[in-house]
Amino acid sequence: MDKRDGMNYAPKGKPNVVVKGGEFIFAVIGLNHGHIYGISNGLLEAGAILKLVYDPDIEKVKAFQKEYPQVMAAESEEQVLCDPEIKLVAGACITSDRAALGIRVMRAGKDYLTDKAPLTTLEQLDEVKKVISETGRKYAVCYSERLQCESAIYAGQLIEQNAIGRVVQVIGMGPHRLNAPSRPDWFFIKEKYGGILCDIGSHQIEQFLFYTGATDAKVVNSKVTNYNNPNYPELEDFGDATLIGNNGATGYFRVDWFTPDGLSTWGDGRTFILGTEGYIELRKYVDLAKEETGDHVFWVNKDGEHYINVTGQVGFPFFGQFILDCIHRTEHAMTQAHALKAAELCVKAELQAEWIV
Amino acid sequence: MDKRDGMNYAPKGKPNVVVKGGEFIFAVIGLNHGHIYGISNGLLEAGAILKLVYDPDIEKVKAFQKEYPQVMAAESEEQVLCDPEIKLVAGACITSDRAALGIRVMRAGKDYLTDKAPLTTLEQLDEVKKVISETGRKYAVCYSERLQCESAIYAGQLIEQNAIGRVVQVIGMGPHRLNAPSRPDWFFIKEKYGGILCDIGSHQIEQFLFYTGATDAKVVNSKVTNYNNPNYPELEDFGDATLIGNNGATGYFRVDWFTPDGLSTWGDGRTFILGTEGYIELRKYVDLAKEETGDHVFWVNKDGEHYINVTGQVGFPFFGQFILDCIHRTEHAMTQAHALKAAELCVKAELQAEWIV
C-alpha cells in the first residue's frame, strides 16, 4: 500500500488478539473504498476469521482475495446474509448506499461495521436508528483517522490522564491528496459521496466529540466550495465547520483536497487539542520536512514541552474492543450514540454549509 | 526583555536605515503596553530620531528613558503636539483611548502609529476616518505579530513568488500567556481592552487580509468566553472567528490566554496558509519540543517539503517603509484602508460574538 495514496491507506496495527479459533467470524460486503483493507486488517489482527467476501465487481473481489487468500468469494449478498456463522459484516460500499446495506445486514441478525461516512442523509439516519432499535444489532463506524492512528489514540490517553486539564477546544486539519484519475466516478457525484463535510469531515467531527467528551453539539457555521477543480463540478475541494458542544467545548476543522504532490504522504493531518492546563498537537502522518514517518505527539503543560513518537506503541484497540462488544453486547469500543451523533452532525454541517463564491 | 512574557515582547530587527541625521523625528505618547518598546525599536532601527516621551505615569517614563537614554521627558502631551520638529507620534496607551489620542495627534498635523488594536468601537472608527480625511494625516497600526515577525514577512514573500498558488485559506492560532499578576487593571476591563477578538484577534484578522489579498470580508461566525478565569469575569480567555473575504478566500483563527507555564515562550503562534498549489506553516515563536528559537517556515508544493529558519534573514521592512511613506505621503508599508479594515473587522467580530456557556 502506497503511503502517498490515501485511497488505499490500510494501516496495520500492533496485534492484540482477543478471540481465538473460530470464535468470531465476519464477512465483507462492498469494496468501493480501499478503507475496507484497513478495516479487515484491524479485525484480523484482533483474531477474527474472515470467511466470505461479496461485491458485484468481480475484479474488486479478486484484488481483495489476493490480499486475503483465506477468504471465499460469495455468489451473492444473500449468501453472506444467510450464513449463520457470520456475526459481523464489514463494508465500504458507495457512501450513499451504506445505510441501506447496514439495514439489510442488521435485519439479517448481524452486526455491521462500515467505513466512514456511515450515511449521507438525515432520512437514512432515522431509518438506521429505527432498525437498530428493532433488531438490537450494532451499526458501527470505523472513523479511521482516529481509530487507526496511534497518535490519535495516544492523545485520548493523555487527556484521560489529565495531562492538559479540561479540553475546551479541538482544531483539526484533514487535507487529502486528490489524485483524481485514480478515483472512481461516484467519488465526484455529491449525492453519492455526500459532500466533503460528510465524507472526510466525519473524521473531524468524531474526533471533536471524542476529545471534548461532548455528547451533542451545534454546528454554528460551515462552508464548502470548489476552489480549483472546475473539471469536477460536484467535487467540494474545500470545507470547514465550527461547532459548540453541549459541554461548552468548541471545535473547528478544515478539510480539503489540496495536498500538494511534493508532500511525502497523502495528507498532513493535524489535531490541536486545547486544554485549560496545556495542549496537544498531533502530526498524524508526517512531521513536515523533518520525518516522513507519522504519529508524532507533542504536548505542553506546566511541566514543559514534550514529544513522543508512538509508532508501534499503542496499536488500534478499537477492533479488539469492538469484537468483544459484539460478543458481549457491550459498548466499550464506541457507543452507538457517539457513532451516530458524529454522522448526524456531519450531515447537518453539509446541509447548512454556505457555498463560497 | 523576557521571551516568556509577551507583555514586554520587543523584538529587535535587522537594521535597515532609510533616513539619516535629523531627517525624521518622532515622539512617544502612551506607555500602557510594552509593545511601545518594539515600535520604538523598529523606528530607531530605520534611522528615526526619538526626541520626546510623554505619559502621565512618571514611573513608566523613567523606565522608558532607561531603555532609551536619548529621549527627553515632555511636561505634557501639549508640549509634544506643539513641537514642529516632531513628524510622528507613536503610542501604546489603553486600547479604548487610542483613537482619541490619534485624533489629537492628527489634528496637530502629525502622523500617528499606534499599537494594535487601534480602536475598540465602530464610533471611534468613524471619527478616525473623518479626521484622516480632514487632516490628510496617517493613522497607522503596528500589527506586530506580522510586522515584527520575520517568518510572517517571509511568508508574504513566498506568496508573492507564487510558491503556493492562489491563497484560499488562512488558519491562525494566537495563544498568549496570561500571567495575570503582571497585567495592569485595564487589561481585565472589557470596555478598555476591547475584548479578545479586538485585542489579540486584530493580529489574526490583519494576517488573514494580508495573506489572502482580500480588501474586505464578512465575519460569518465568532465566539468568545471565559473558560477558566472566574477571578477575572470581564476577561475573555478564549475567542475564535471565521471570515469570508471579498475574493472568496476564507479564514479562521483562535486566540486564547492558555499558554501553559511549561512553554519556553509566551505563545506557540502558528499560521497555516493554504494555496491551490501548496501550503505554508509558520511556527512563529518556537518549534515545539525541538527548538526554543522562533521564525520557522515550512512549506510544501509540487517540488517537495521545505524548511527554513529565517531569524535575522528578512528584518522588519515595515518601519523603514513607513517612515518613507510619512515623508513622501505614499502607502508602501501598509495602506490606510487595510489598517482600518482589520480594525473594523475585529470590532465586528467582537460585537457579533456568541458567548459560549
Dump pLDDT digits (tens) for A157-170: 999 999 999 999 99
Å between A341 CA and nearest CA of chain B: 21
Contact A278 B262 (CB under 8 A): yes
Place of cell 489620542: B101
pLDDT band, very low/low/confident/very high, at B6 (cuts 50, 70, 90) = low
Q: What is the pLDDT of residue A6?
A: 61
Q: Of A220, A227, A267, whose CA–CA distance to A246 is shortest? A: A220
Q: Note whether B250 contacts A: Cβ–Cβ < 8 A.
A: yes
Contact across the interface for B304 and A262, Cβ inside 8 Å: yes
What pLDDT does A47 receive? 97
**CA B354, CA A120: separation in Å to the nearest integer?**
29
Alpha helices in chain A (DSSP H): 35-45, 58-67, 77-81, 98-107, 122-135, 144-147, 150-160, 190-193, 201-212, 317-328, 336-352
Cell of residue B149, nine digits: 515577525
Q: How confident is the model at residue A11 (pLDDT cuts 50, 70, 90)?
A: confident
**CB contacts, 8 Å: A304 with chain B:** 262
Mean local confidence (pLDDT), A187-201: 98
Residue range A53-75: mean pLDDT, rounded:
98
Q: In terms of DSSP H, where are the helices of A175-304?
A: 190-193, 201-212
Residue percentage of chain B with pLDDT more than 70: 97
pLDDT, tens only, B279-307: 999 999 999 999 999 999 999 999 999 99
Q: Which pLDDT band holds residue A9 (cuts at 50, 70, 90)? A: low
Average pLDDT over residues B247-253: 98
pLDDT at A152: 98
The mean per-residue pLDDT over the stretch B265-285 comes to 98
CB < 8 Å to B263, chain A: 300, 305
Residues of A in contact with B265 (CB under 8 A): none
Q: Calculate mean pLDDT across residues A18-31.
A: 95
Dist. CA A284–CA A267, nearest whole Å: 9
CA distance B340 to chain A (A): 25
Q: Which of B225, B289, B302 sits opposite A306 (nearest CB)?
A: B289
Residue in B83, B94, B86 with CA at minimum distance from that of residue B26 = B86
Check whether A347 has a pLDDT greater than 80: yes
- Contacting residues of B for A4, CB less than 8 Å apart: none
B256 in contact with A at a CB cutoff of 8 Å?
A: yes
Residues of A in contact with B256 (CB under 8 A): 169, 274
Is A168's CB within 8 Å of B227's CB? yes
Distance from CA of A167 to the nearest CA of B (A): 10
A 10 A CB-CB count for B78 gives 12
Lowest-pLDDT range of A3-12, A112-121, A225-234, A330-339: A3-12
Q: A139 with A102: CB under 8 angstroms?
A: yes
Specify the pLDDT at position B137. 98
- B175 at A interface, C-beta within 8 A: yes
The Cβ of residue A17 has, within 10 Å, a number of other Cβ atoms equal to 12
Chain B nearest CA to A301, separation (Å)? 5
Instruction: Decide if pLDDT at B143 tops 80.
Output: yes
B residues 86-105 lying closer than 8 A (beta carbon) to A: none
> What angle do helix axes A201-212 and A336-352 make, rounded to 10 degrees?
130
Q: What is the pLDDT at residue B1?
A: 40
What DSSP state is assigned to residue A287? B
Q: What is the mean pLDDT of chain B?
A: 96
Chain B nearest C-alpha distance from A334 (Å): 27
Question: Is the Cβ pair A276, B175 closer than 8 Å?
Answer: no
Question: Per-residue pLDDT for A21 more than 90?
Answer: no
Bridge partners for B251 per DSSP: B170, B243
What residues of chain A lie within 8 A of the CB of B289, using their CB?
298, 300, 305-307
Q: Give which of B143, B326, B226, B83 is closest to A276, Cα–Cα.
A: B226
Place of cell 486600547: B95
Q: Chain A contacts of B248, Cβ < 8 Å?
A: 225, 227, 356-357
In CATH terms, the fold of domain B146-315+347-355 is Dihydrodipicolinate Reductase; domain 2 (3.30.360)
Q: Which residues of A touch B286 (CB under 8 A)?
A: 305
Distance from CA of A271 to the nearest CA of B (A): 13
Interface test with B, best of A222, A271, A279 (most B CBs within 10 A): A279
Domain with CATH 3.40.50.720 in chain A: 6-143+317-333
pLDDT mean over A62-75? 98
Q: Are strands A250-256 and A167-175 parallel, antiparallel or unpaired?
A: parallel
Q: Which residue ranges does chain A devote to CATH 3.30.360.10?
A: 146-315+347-355
User: What mean pLDDT, rounded, does chain A reach?
Assistant: 96
- A277 close to B (CB below 8 A): yes
DSSP readout, A108-145?
Answer: TT-EEEEESS--SSHHHHHHHHHHHHHH---EEEE-HH
Tell me the per-residue pLDDT of A28-62, one tens digit each, with 9 for 90 and over: 999 999 999 999 999 999 999 999 999 999 999 99
Span B6-143+317-333: which CATH code?
Answer: 3.40.50.720
Q: How many CB atoms lie within 10 A of CB A34?
A: 18
- On whether ipTM exceeds 0.90, the answer is yes
Residue A233 pLDDT > 80 = yes
pLDDT attached to residue A293: 95
Nearest to B11 by CA among B23, B21, B19, B3: B3
pLDDT score recorded for residue B2: 52
Look at B242 and A221 and tell me if their CB atoms are within 8 Å: yes
pLDDT at A1: 41
In DSSP notation, A141-192 reads EE-HHHHT-HHHHHHHHHHHTTTTSSEEEEEEEEE----GGGS-GGGG-HHH
Single-letter amino acid code for the residue at B236: E
Q: Is the pLDDT of residue B141 over 90?
A: yes
Helix axes A122-135, A336-352, angle to 10 degrees: 170
Residues sharing a CB contact under 8 Å with residue A123, sequence separation 6 or more, in sequence order: none
Closest chain B residue by Cα to residue A167: B227
Range A43-70 burial, b when 16+ CB lie within 10 A, else e: bbbbbbbbbbbbbeeeeebeebeeeeee
Q: How far is A148 from chain B (nearest CA, A)?
A: 25
Contact (CB<8Å) A258/B274: yes
pLDDT of residue B79: 98
Angle between helices A317-328 and A35-45 (to 10 degrees): 70
H helices of chain B, in order, are 35-45, 58-67, 77-81, 98-107, 122-135, 144-147, 150-160, 190-193, 201-212, 317-328, 336-352
Strands A296-301 and A278-283 turn out to be antiparallel
The one-letter code for the residue type at B4 is R
With a CB cutoff of 8 Å and minimum separation 6, the contacts of B272 are A173, B169, B170, B171, B172, B279, B280, B281, B282
Q: Which residues of A fall within a CB distance of 8 Å from B242?
A: 221, 223, 240, 242, 252
pLDDT for A3 beyond 80: no
Q: In chain A, pLDDT over 70 holds for what percent of residues?
A: 97
CB contact under 8 A, A166 and B240: no
Distance between CA atoms of residues A203 and A192, nearest Å: 18
Mean pLDDT of B80-92: 98
**Cross-chain CB nearest to B276 (options A227, A307, A356):** A227
Does residue B67 sit in helix, strand or coil? helix
pLDDT of residue B157: 98
Amino acid at A342: A
